[in-house]
Each structure stands twice: as C-alpha cells, then as structure tokens.
C-alpha cells in the first residue's frame, strides 16, 4: 500500500486510559489524534514514514486494508510531528 499526491496513510495509536483516585478517565477533550505514519504521498514534505504525528481527529476517512484499519489524511490535517 502506498499513498499518492498529498495523502498520508496513518495507523492510530491507542492512548492509555488515565487513572485518578481509582477512576478511569477517558481523554475525549482532545481535538487531535496521535498516529504512526505508514505511507506518504509523493508531494508530501516535512513528514516521513514511521514518524509520529498529531492530526485533527475529524479529518480524513478510514480504510480497511488486509484486515487492518488505517486513516487517510492530507498534509493540511497534520498539526505536529514528533
């Protein structure tokens, strides 16, 4: 699988749940999702394969490839590269 143009294929990273005083808190307040870059298009600059990125969680769409779910986003959706 290979992305083309300005598209980026990412695999979401599951964030650990936080425990405070025995209560499990889910971080739904965050506007951004964390993901590992699987493939970048030929026009993408500033991001490489295997980078960790944060992107707007409402961006892009989900595809199912060989039984795995991936998110397809554009370079405009990326806000931070680790």
Task: State the CATH number of the domain containing residue 64.
Answer: 2.30.33.40
Identify the pLDDT of residue 29.
Answer: 65
DSSP string, 18-45: EEETTEEE---S-SEEEEEEEEE-TT--
Stretches in the chain below the pLDDT threshold 50: none
pLDDT for position 23 = 74
Confidence at residue 49, expressed as pLDDT on a 0 to 100 scale = 96
Look up the domain containing 39 and give its range: 7-81
57: number of Cβ within 10 Å = 16
* Per-residue confidence (pLDDT) for residue 26, from 0 to 100: 63
Residue 29 falls inside a structural domain = yes
Domain count, the chain: 1
pLDDT at 30: 74
Question: pLDDT value at position 27?
Answer: 58
Within a domain: residue 2? Answer: no
pLDDT of res. 28: 60
């Amino acid at each position: 699988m290979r992305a083309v143009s300005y598209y980026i294929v990412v695999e979401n990273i599951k964030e650990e749940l936080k425990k405070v005083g025995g209560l499990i808190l889910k971080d739904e307040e965050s506007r951004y999702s964390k993901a590992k870059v699987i493939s970048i298009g030929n026009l993408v600059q500033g991001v490489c394969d295997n980078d960790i990125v944060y992107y707007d969680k409402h961006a892009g769409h989900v595809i199912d490839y060989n039984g795995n779910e991936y998110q397809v986003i554009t370079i405009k959706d990326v806000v931070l590269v680790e």
